[in-house]
Amino acid sequence: MGHNRCVSVGLVGLGRLGRQHADNLAFRIPNCRLAAVCSINPEEVEEAQAQLGVPYGYTDYEEMLRNKELDAIFIASPSSYHCDQIEKALAAGFHVFSEKPLGLYMEEALRVQEAVRRHPDQVFMLGFMRRYDRSYVYAKRKIEAGAIGEPVLIRCYGIDPAQAMPGFLQFAKSNYSGGLFLDMAIHDLDLARWYLGAEAERVWAIGGSHRYTELAQLQDAETGAALVQFAGNKMGMFVAGRNCAHGYHIETEIIGTLGTLRIGTVPEKNQVAIMDDRGVVRECANGFLERFEQAYLDEAIDFVRAILDGRQPEVKVEDGVLSTALGYACKESFETGQLVEVST
Ligand code: NAI
Question: Are 191 and 79 contained in the same domain?
Answer: no
Residue 123 within a domain: yes
- pLDDT, position 3: 53
Of the candidates 250, 252, 261, 265, the residue with the CA atom closest to the CA atom of residue 150: 261
Q: 283-288 — which CB contacts under 8 Å span 24+ positions? A: 283/247, 284/246, 284/247, 284/248, 284/249, 285/247, 285/248, 285/250, 286/161, 286/163, 286/247, 286/248, 287/160, 287/161, 287/164, 287/247, 287/248, 288/17, 288/248
Q: Separation of 276 CA from ligand 1 center, angstroms?
A: 39
Q: Separation of 255 CA from ligand 1 center, angstroms?
A: 34
Give the span between the Cα atoms of 203 and 125, in whole angstroms: 27
Q: What is the mean pLDDT of the chain?
A: 96
DSSP letter for each residue of 297-335: HHHHHHHHHHHHHT---SS-HHHHHHHHHHHHHHHHHHH
Question: Are 253 and 286 contained in the same domain?
Answer: yes
The whole-number average pLDDT for the span 292-303 is 98
Residue nearest to atom 4 of ligand 1 (CA): 15
- pLDDT, position 39: 98
Question: Are 274 and 327 contained in the same domain?
Answer: yes
Ligand 1, atom nearest to 171 Cα: 2
Question: Are 155 and 106 contained in the same domain?
Answer: no
Indicate whether 265 pLDDT > 60: yes
Q: Separation of 291 CA from ligand 1 center, angstroms?
A: 18
- pLDDT, position 255: 98
Question: Are 286 and 301 contained in the same domain?
Answer: no
Give the span between the Cα atoms of 171 and 33, in whole angstroms: 30
Q: How many CA atoms lie within 13 A of 142 on its CB side?
A: 18
Q: 83: Cβ below 6 Å to ligand 1?
A: no
Question: Are 180 and 146 contained in the same domain?
Answer: yes
Residue 158 within a domain: yes
Residue nearest to atom 25 of ligand 1 (CA): 16
Residue nearest to atom 43 of ligand 1 (CA): 17
- pLDDT, position 173: 80
Residue 1 within a domain: no
Q: 44: Cβ below 6 Å to ligand 1?
A: yes
- pLDDT, position 318: 97
**Candidate from 14, 40, 315 with most ligand 1 atoms within 8 A of CB, to mutate:** 40
Residue 156 within a domain: yes
Q: How confident is the model at residue 2 (pLDDT cuts 50, 70, 90)?
A: very low
The whole-number average pLDDT for the span 167-178 is 86
Residue 2 within a domain: no
- pLDDT, position 172: 86
Question: Are 109 and 220 contained in the same domain?
Answer: no
**Candidate from 38, 39, 182 with most ligand 1 atoms within 8 A of CB, to mutate:** 39
The whole-number average pLDDT for the span 60-83 is 97
Q: 127: Cβ below 6 Å to ligand 1?
A: yes
The pLDDT tens digits of the residues spanning 226-240 come to 999 999 999 999 999
Q: Separation of 265 CA from ligand 1 center, angstroms?
A: 29
Question: Are 25 and 105 contained in the same domain?
Answer: yes
Question: Are 248 and 197 contained in the same domain?
Answer: yes
Q: What is the CATH number of the domain that holds 106?
A: 3.40.50.720
Question: Are 93 and 204 contained in the same domain?
Answer: no
Beta partners for 38? 12, 58
Name the residue range of residue 185's domain.
Answer: 131-291+323-341
Beta-carbon neighbour count of residue 320 at 10 Å?
29
Residue 332 within a domain: yes
The whole-number average pLDDT for the span 49-59 is 98
Judged by DSSP in three states, 272 sits in coil
Residue 287 within a domain: yes
Element (H or E) spanning 216, and its range? helix 214-217
Q: Separation of 12 CA from ligand 1 center, angstroms?
A: 9
Residue nearest to atom 44 of ligand 1 (CA): 17
Q: 97: Cβ below 6 Å to ligand 1?
A: no
The whole-number average pLDDT for the span 79-94 is 97
Contact (CB, 8 A) for 30 and 55: no
Indicate whether 262 pLDDT > 50: yes
Cα angle, residue 210 at apex, residues 206 and 211 outer, rounded to 5°: 140
Q: 15: Cβ below 6 Å to ligand 1?
A: yes
Find out whether the peptide bond into 101 is cis, omega within 30 degrees of 0: yes
Q: What is the CATH number of the domain that holds 214?
A: 3.30.360.10
Contact (CB, 8 A) for 82 and 98: yes
Indicate whether 1 pLDDT > 50: no
Q: 85: Cβ below 6 Å to ligand 1?
A: no
Q: How confident is the model at residue 176 (pLDDT cuts 50, 70, 90)?
A: confident
Complex ipTM: 0.99
Indicate whether 150 pLDDT > 70: yes
Q: How many domains does the chain have?
A: 2
Ligand 1, atom nearest to 77 Cα: 7
Indicate whether 190 pLDDT > 50: yes
Judged by DSSP in three states, 233 sits in helix
Residue 257 within a domain: yes
The pLDDT tens digits of the residues spanning 240-257 come to 999 999 999 999 999 999
Question: Are 148 and 120 contained in the same domain?
Answer: no
Question: Are 250 and 232 contained in the same domain?
Answer: yes
Ligand 1, atom nearest to 183 Cα: 34
